[in-house]
Amino acid sequence: MFDLVERLSTNKNNEHKLSNKLETILFYQTEECRSLINESFRFDGRDEPKSVKNRDEELRQIDLLNSPDVVFIELNASKDVVQDAQRIVHLLPSHVSVVVIGSEDAISTIRLLKDMGFYYLFWPVSKQECCDFMLNVFDNHDQNKGLMANRKAKRVAILGVKGGVGTSLICSEISRSLSFDKGVSTLLVDHHYHGGNLDIFMGLKQYQKRIVQKGTLLTNIDGTYALGLIRKITPMLSMLAIDSEELNAQELKEYTLAVQDQVLNNSSVMIEDHAQLIRNKDDIDRLLQRVDVLVFVFDATVSALRDYNRFNQLVKKNNLDNETRVISVLNASRPVNSGSVSLDEIEKYSGQRPTIIIPYDDKAPQHILEGGQIIKTKSPMGLPLMNLVSLILGEEQKQQKRSIFRFFKVKRE
């Protein structure tokens, strides 16, 4: 009997020690909240969390702040807790357990935050209630369960309706902008097999894709193996690109998807470069089931407009509940000529105006060869690309000047 009691006591102490090692950060708005959280930690025998003022610029550095396991975010000063949580969700790594502290007393708030994978600690709260709440969060994190398991990377598919419309360029620009400018942990996935130029657009020198062997079964791909195939470009940007002399393009695609499934919790956003292999209804169906945002890229040519309309109709038929957000990008990948269609013609035949319009810039190839980001130059392409990044993150866009339309053909009489 005494041995049993001793064992139970030892197990309980070991669990407490394990959760006590978790790195925690508090992003606070008020001293009252910071004081209570710190007091609760001390009361429970834990080290105080690292306390940082709740500002977007601080949240963007979260991956660099000692790789936290659990993050507390005070939103007591917020006018809309859910809206503010949605605004910052992309800044928080998927492997982190997130506790939102707020004074908004509504079941809908709890439900919507839960859908985002966030815990909600209603304020005001007593020290004992806070301790009990924290213990539950820490235990769930230790066991890799609870709401943290709901947090996965936002998957964004960039789909070129045909080759040569600038899909890889756009993927490279938004991936670097997300990671460098927005502080978002980003994984760029290359679906070009047996070729592709994504490394050139990314400014990577002597880059080689990871080579995979035919003998590896998809069912044997685990998290450790998957991480070994991902190349770290910067602390906030990684890239998945594989190739094989033994596997065909379709087999490599299935291989890539299996790897992606294993690392959904390792980044906040996945940008997928789909310039190939998406060609029919079944391809679109599978894509819509996997991604959160679908970005169509086409240029101002008759053939591209026809392909865009075909894909767009397939999406409308299979995305009736609008679970996947659809963005259309008109990219002027070549100078305007007699074969181009006008903006009015595009709107007439597609039934809608493009969400984002990127003008042609003859200096773009020079920026690319120099390894620079077009977004960081004075290129007319910069603002539309930044607006595309903002759209993906749910942020407000900056107004484009009317002069941008001079880069496109006017309506023919």
Q: Where are the domains of the chain?
A: 2-150, 154-407
- Spatial separation of the C-alpha atoms in residues 227 and 240, rounded to whole Å: 9
Q: What is the pLDDT of residues 207-230, one digit of tens each?
A: 899 999 887 767 778 888 999 999
pLDDT at 86 over 90: no
Torsion, Cα of 189, 191, 194, 198 (10° steps): -50
**Residues in the chain, overall count:** 413
Pick the more confident residue, 232 or 196. 232
Q: What is the mean pLDDT of residues 2-26?
A: 54
| Residue 173 banded pLDDT, cuts 50, 70, 90 | very high
pLDDT for 80: 93
Type of residue numbered 84: D
77-81, 313-317, 339-343: lowest mean pLDDT where?
339-343
pLDDT for 8: 39
Q: What is the pLDDT of residues 319-336, one digit of tens each?
A: 877 789 999 999 998 887
Q: Are 98 and 117 in contact (CB under 8 A)?
A: yes
Torsion, Cα of 46, 60, 97, 224 (10° steps): -110
Q: What is the mean pLDDT of residues 32-38?
A: 96
pLDDT at 169 over 90: yes
Alpha-carbon radius of gyration of the chain: 24
pLDDT at 14 over 60: no
pLDDT at 16 over 80: no
| Residue 339 banded pLDDT, cuts 50, 70, 90 | low
Partner residues linked to 52 by β-bridges: 27
pLDDT for 7: 40
Measured distance between the N- and C-terminal CA atoms of the chain, rounded to whole angstroms: 95
Tokens of 265: 């919790």
pLDDT at 402 over 80: no
pLDDT at 21 over 90: no
- Spatial separation of the C-alpha atoms in residues 32 and 53, rounded to whole Å: 13
pLDDT at 11 over 60: no
- CATH class name, domain 2-150: alpha beta
pLDDT for 89: 84
Q: Which CATH architecture has domain 154-407?
A: 3-Layer(aba) Sandwich (3.40)
State the chain's mean pLDDT as an integer: 85
pLDDT for 398: 77
Q: Are 231 and 241 in contact (CB under 8 A)?
A: yes
Closest CA to 176 of 358, 330, 372, 328: 372
pTM to 2 decimal places: 0.81
Q: What percent of the chain has pLDDT over 70?
A: 87
Q: What is the pLDDT of residues 341-368, one digit of tens each?
A: 888 999 998 888 999 999 999 999 888 8
Q: What percent of the chain has pLDDT over 90?
A: 51
pLDDT at 116 over 50: yes
| Residue 138 banded pLDDT, cuts 50, 70, 90 | very high
Tokens of 77: 């000063």
**What does the angle CA 295 – CA 296 – CA 299 come to, to the nearest 5 degrees?**
140
Q: What is the mean pLDDT of residues 74-93?
A: 89
Q: Are 189 and 256 in contact (CB under 8 A)?
A: yes
Q: Is 154-407 in the same CATH topology as 2-150?
A: yes
Closest CA to 175 of 161, 159, 187, 166: 187
Pick the more confident residue, 372 or 391. 391
pLDDT at 2 over 50: no
pLDDT for 87: 83
pLDDT for 13: 45
* Beta strand pairing call for 237-240 and 186-190: parallel
| Residue 120 banded pLDDT, cuts 50, 70, 90 | very high
70-79, 273-282, 358-367, 378-387: lowest mean pLDDT where?
273-282
pLDDT for 235: 87
pLDDT at 122 over 50: yes
Q: Are 294 and 283 in contact (CB under 8 A)?
A: no
Q: What is the pLDDT of residues 238-290, one digit of tens each?
A: 999 999 998 998 899 999 999 999 998 888 899 999 876 677 788 888 899 99
pLDDT at 192 over 50: yes
